[in-house]
Structure 1
Amino acid sequence: MGILTDYFAAPDDARAAVAAHTGPSAPDPLTAQPGFATVERTGIDPFVVLGSLASLLTGRPYREVTADARHGSLVASVGDEGPWVVSVTDTLVGALAGSTPAALEQVAVRWSATEELAGSDPAALAQALHRLAALCVRADDAGHQVYCWTSL
Structure 2
Amino acid sequence: MSGIIKFFSAPDDASAASIVDSGPDSAFGSLTCGNFDASEAVIEWESLLTGQSFEALVASDEPHTVVDLGEEGGPLLFVVSAALQGALAGASAARLGEVGGLWIEERAAEGEAFDPEMVEELLGDLADLARTAEVRSHALYCWMA
- Both proteins in one fold, TM over 0.5: yes
Residue of structure 2 in register with 1:30 after alignment: none
Structure 2: which 5+ runs fail to align? none
Instruction: Considering fraction of residues, name the structure with more helix.
Output: 2
SS in 1 for 2:28: coil
Give the Cα–Cα distance (whole angstroms) in 2 for the partners of residues 78 and 135 of structure 1: 25
In structure 1, which of residues 96, 117, 131 is the aligned counterpart of residue 125 of structure 2?
131
Runs of 4+ aligned structure 1 residues displaced above 4 Å come to none
Give the Cα–Cα distance (whole angstroms) in 1 for the partners of residues 111 and 132 of structure 2: 27
- Taking structure 1 as reference, are residues 95 and 140 closer, same or farther at Cα in structure 2, changes over 3 Å only? same
| Residue 76 (str. 1) matches residue 70 (str. 2) | no
Give the Cα–Cα distance (whole angstroms) in 2 for the partners of residues 116 and 55 of structure 1: 17
- The 10-residue stretch of structure 1 (80-89 or 42-51) with the greater mean CA deviation from structure 2: 42-51
- Taking structure 1 as reference, are residues 148 and 2 closer, same or farther at Cα in structure 2, changes over 3 Å only? closer
Contact 1:68/1:89, CA 8 A, preserved across alignment: no
Give the Cα–Cα distance (whole angstroms) in 2 for the partners of residues 53 and 127 of structure 1: 14
Structure 1: which 5+ runs fail to align? 27-34
Structure-2-length-normalised TM-score: 0.87
Give the Cα–Cα distance (whole angstroms) in 1 for the partners of residues 131 and 100 of structure 2: 18
Counting matched residue pairs gives 142
Structure-1-length-normalised TM-score: 0.84
Contact 2:93/2:124, CA 8 A, preserved across alignment: yes
Q: Percent identity?
A: 32
In structure 2, which of residues 45, 52, 56 is the aligned counterpart of residue 53 of structure 1?
45
Give the letter aligned to residue 21 of structure 1.
D
Residue deviations 1:90-124, cap 9 Å, x none? 10000000000111111111110003574222221
- The 10-residue stretch of structure 1 (111-120 or 98-107) with the greater mean CA deviation from structure 2: 111-120
